Amino acid sequence: MSATPMPAPAPDELIDRVLTALDSLTDPEIPVVTLRELGILRDVRMTDDGLEVVITPTYSGCPAMGQIEDDVRATLAGIGIAARVVTRLSPAWTTDWMSEAAKEKLRAYGIAPPHRLPAPEVGVVRFMKKPAAETVACPQCGSTNTTLTSQFSSTACKALYRCLDCREPFDYFKPY
């Protein structure tokens, strides 16, 4: 006696199942936030060629993207789903895609979350404008008596700061 094959799930059910599985994936460099919370996981959709998962790096040279793509494939293979993983560079990732939950998790982990960027003025082009000095609060003690130590930290998307009150160094996730 042969088993009756199960009907294929409807596209919306399949996408929900994939999103649920992918919600467990964290960033390889910041394991307290998920790819979805960071805005790296851009879309899961059905195309004429099948299921597609779209990811966008935090910056175009991000060394973690290979690991992220492998993690997505492995997670989906673990639940028996094949999908094409597409890395999309345009539109470029922005810290505005980060959820508020991600920003709070960053702070609790010891990384100062990015500030919100002001909306660009439509039709205005500025060249080589020096950015205004940012006040970055220490994620350990909350003091704003901090100083920039290096424009780049453990990754290019973070800067290294030091708190002048508690004397602790910390990363600041730079806004893009």
Q: How many CB atoms neighbour CB 43 within 10 A?
A: 12
Reported as a single tens digit per residue, the pLDDT across 115-151 is 876 665 555 555 544 455 679 999 999 999 999 999 9
Largest CA distance in the chain: 75
What's residue 7's pLDDT?
Answer: 47
pLDDT on residue 119: 61
Q: What pLDDT is attached to residue 134?
A: 75
- Domain spans in the chain, listed from the N-terminal domain onward: 11-96, 110-115+134-173
What is the arithmetic mean of pLDDT over 18-33?
A: 95
Buried b (16+ CB within 10 A) or exposed e, 102-138: bbebbbeeebbbbbeeeeeeeeeeeeeeeeeeeebbb
Average pLDDT, the chain: 87
Helices (H) and strands (E) in the chain, counts: 4, 7
Judge if the upstream peptide bond of residue 91 is cis by omega within 30 degrees of 0: yes
Q: Which tens digits make up the pLDDT trace of 59-85?
A: 888 889 999 999 999 999 999 999 999
Residues with Cβ < 8 Å from 82, sequence gap 6 or more?
A: 50, 51, 76
What is the C-alpha to C-alpha distance for residues 146 and 17, in angstroms, rounded to an integer? 44
For 66, the 3-state DSSP assignment is helix
Distances (CA, A) of 47 to 19, 50, 52, 55, 71: 16, 5, 7, 16, 21
pLDDT digit string, tens, across residues 81-94: 999 999 999 999 99
Residue 163 dihedral angles phi and psi, to the nearest 5°: -85, 130
Q: What is the pLDDT of residue 121?
A: 58
Given a contact cutoff of 8 angstroms between Cβ atoms, the answer to whether 22 and 54 are in contact is: no
Q: Is the pLDDT of residue 166 over 60?
A: yes
Q: Is 11-96 a domain of CATH 3.30.300.130?
A: yes
Query: What's residue 3's pLDDT?
Result: 54
pLDDT at 117: 67
pLDDT tens-digit profile of 35-55? 999 999 999 999 999 999 999
Closest CA to 173 of 89, 116, 88: 116
Neighbouring CB atoms inside 10 A of 146's CB total: 23
Cα radius of gyration rounded to whole Å, the chain: 20
